[in-house]
Amino acid sequence: MKEKVSERVNWPVTILLILGCVTIFFPLYMAVIIAFKQPSEMTNDVAGALAFPSHWSLSNFAQAMEVTDFWHSLGNSLLITVITVVLALLIHGIAGYAIGRSMGESKGYKLVYYYIVSGMFVPFAILMMPLVKQTAQMGIANRVGVVILYLVFYMPINLLLYTGYLKNIPMALEEAANVDGATTWYMYWQIIFPMMKPMHATVAVLTALAVWNDVMTPLVIMGGTEMNTLPLAQLNFQTQFGTNYNLAFASYLLALLPILIFYLICQKQIIGGVASGAVK
Amino acid sequence: MNGKVVNKRKRTFLCITIPVVILFFMFNTYPLIRGFIYSFTNFRGYGSYDWVGLRNYADLFTDSRVGGSYWFTVKYAFVCTILTNVISLILALGLNSKIKAKGALRGIYFIPNVLGSLVVAYIFSFLFTYIIPAVGKSLGIGFLSSSILASTKTAWLGIVVVGAWQSIAQNTIIYISGLQTVPEEVYEAGSIDGATGWKSFRNLTFPLIIPFVTTNTVLCMKNFLMVFDQIMALTKGGPSQSTESISFLIYNNGMGGGQFGFQSANAFVFFVVIVAFSVAQMKFMNSKEEQL
């Protein structure tokens, strides 16, 4: 009897939550509708913007791809994101291991840990101007520089995550491997790195989302170099869209599409990654 | 482990840590120090410059544009943090209760989190400029019949809506994981004592998820204080500088406006403000936790 009560579906809440989805879908619905319309169909009332187009045509998308140099921007975004994530897993992972395993015994490593983690509070706005100078002087005011900066910016949070996770991996394994004569380096890649798989997923998701959607870093580092990431292209071509909102929305949708597809495929990992990343 | 192995292990760790620390120093600490040094000069971003001592810092307090940006940013961050957390908590309670299609609903409410904030803000910009005024006019609601982004009084509210719309997604997920840490027995024991509904939430659930409230408000506050993308897409700081955030002002005047030195001083004060806010919030929330 008691169990039945607790299993009863709460219909009022279910219905409210379904109705609430309108707040999520309405802006996206509007974007899709406008992206498929022709400027001549945009009358000055609500229906003009929100009614279905008279015929569904992909011409706006084709034009938007041309205007914003879509494939180049997409390529840059993909390249920067993938390389940053791979390097983050490799470098932040092993840094987390070296620092995490040493800071119990060594004050120096503890200091290094707090030094890097406290970097989380440094806002980009304060580093922005000196970094523009610095990357220009070093000749890396380009994609390479942007990747290096991301590796530094996300080091604090990733280090925190990796060292936190390592606390749950017992030392006994490493001690046994050491007795067998394995070097620390070999042991890390053979034993520890594979064991940190759940944390790699979290780090990859958090880093990828942050890098993919970031505007400020590429804007100040690569601004004016004709190199665009997907979000940066939207900003830089804003003037070319003019009042042709249909073209602009087609471009916005193109910019949102890759991440939406990615989300549809890896929804579980993404939600799990964001949840566990923030809670720790 | 014997001594030789331990020494080799230590050497390996050192070989890993040193390059990482150097990298971090070069692209985080070094520019931070350089920014600090520039803040004592009248550097315009190019050409020669002189030392001006503490004048930039003194000028910060009398510069009305800087003052305006602080007022806007703090107001925005406060309102947005509260709005986001209240809605997220309500949503999380709903999504954690016994509902149908739980997985799908959670998936839908999380969508805004993965979308790029710049593009989202562009979409909302159209909504504020064309759709809402059209609806407002046809319903005869006065204050909605023109774009809220066009008025100095209401433009910041538009930015609040966009900021909250995106952040609610992540905060809801964190609150859900918080609610899942509350054991079922707590509610059962509570219901025997007559605690249901609001009473049960106020006295049982909320105290148990305070650590998650801390995480969420600190994260929110920090992110909202650094607001930039939404400003770029929605208002560019206007109308008449009423929505200039601190980050936007530093970017705008420091990079292009010839105020490299002055805005470096601004950035440094901003940094201190962010640290102070985060520390104060954590202290406040920790004291709440101890009371329970």
Query: Residue ranges per domain, chain B?
Result: 52-117+151-291
Length of chain A: 280
**Of A115, A130, A263, which has the smallest distance from its Cβ to B114's Cβ?**
A263
Residue A227: what are its φ and ψ, rounded to 5°?
A: -90, 125
CATH classification code of B52-117+151-291 = 1.10.3720.10
Does the bond joining A12 to the residue before it have cis omega, within 30 degrees of 0?
no
| Whole-angstrom distance, CA of residue B73 vs CA of residue B92 | 27
| Whole-angstrom distance, CA of residue B39 vs CA of residue A123 | 16
Length of chain B: 292
Size of interface A-B (CB pairs under 8 A): 260
Q: According to the model, what pLDDT value does residue B57 have? A: 92
| Whole-angstrom distance, CA of residue A178 vs CA of residue A195 | 17
| Paired tokens of A228 | 């665009």
Q: According to the model, what pLDDT value does residue B291 have? A: 52
Residue with tokens 């520089």, as numbered in its chain: A145
* A229 within 8 A of A147, measured Cβ to Cβ: no
Residue B51 β-bridge partners: B41
* A77 within 8 A of A214, measured Cβ to Cβ: no
Q: In A, residues 131-160, which contact B (CB 8 Å cutoff)?
A: 131-134, 148-149, 151-153, 155
Cβ–Cβ gap A129/B263 under 8 Å: yes
Provide the mean pLDDT of chain B: 88
Q: Select the more confidently predicted residue: A264 or B143.
A: A264
In one letter, which amino acid is A30?
M
Query: Residues of B with CB below 8 A from A189's CB?
Result: none
| Whole-angstrom distance, CA of residue B169 vs CA of residue B186 | 27
Which of A80-85's residues contact partners 24+ apart within 8 Å by CB, and which partners? Answer: A80/A143, A80/A146, A80/A147, A80/A150, A80/A211, A80/A218, A80/A229, A81/A208, A81/A211, A81/A212, A83/A147, A84/A147, A84/A150, A84/A151, A84/A154, A84/A207, A84/A208, A84/A211, A85/A204, A85/A207, A85/A208, A85/A211
* B164 within 8 A of B121, measured Cβ to Cβ: no
| Whole-angstrom distance, CA of residue A209 vs CA of residue A229 | 14
Lowest-pLDDT choice from A10-14, B176-180, B255-259: B255-259
Express each pLDDT in B92-124 by its tens digit.
999 988 888 888 999 999 999 999 999 999 999
Q: According to the model, what pLDDT value does residue A6 have? A: 53
In one letter, which amino acid is A177?
A
* B115 within 8 A of B233, measured Cβ to Cβ: no
pLDDT at residue B252 greater than cutoff 80: yes
CA atoms within 13 A on the CB side of A116: 32
DSSP-based three-state secondary structure for A140: coil
Query: Residues of B with CB below 8 A from A216's CB?
Result: 228-229, 247, 251
Q: Which of A183, A271, A276, A280 to mutate to test the interface with B (most CBs of B within 10 A)?
A: A271
The complex's ipTM? 0.89
| Whole-angstrom distance, CA of residue B251 vs CA of residue B233 | 14
Grade residue B74 by pLDDT with cuts at 50, 70 and 90.
Answer: very high
Cβ–Cβ gap A126/B27 under 8 Å: no
Residue (of B201, B207, B234) closest to B121 by Cα position: B234
Q: According to the model, what pLDDT value does residue B250 have? A: 92
Express each pLDDT in B207-247 by its tens digit.
888 888 888 898 899 899 999 999 999 998 878 889 999 99
Compute mean pLDDT per 10 residues along chain A, 280 residues long, and list them.
58 89 92 86 73 83 88 93 97 95 89 92 89 91 94 94 89 78 85 91 92 93 84 86 85 92 89 77
For B277, residues 6+ apart whose C-beta sits below 8 A from its C-beta are B221, B222, B225
Cα B143 to Cα B134, B135, B234, distances in angstroms: 12, 11, 19
For A147-169, the DSSP string reads: HHHHHHHTHHHHHHHHHHHHTTS
| Paired tokens of B83 | 């709005």
Q: According to the model, what pLDDT value does residue A3 have? A: 44
Domain boundaries, chain A: 2-57, 67-279
Architecture of domain A67-279: Orthogonal Bundle (1.10)
Q: In A, residues 31-90, which contact B (CB 8 Å cutoff)?
A: 31, 34, 44-46, 49-50
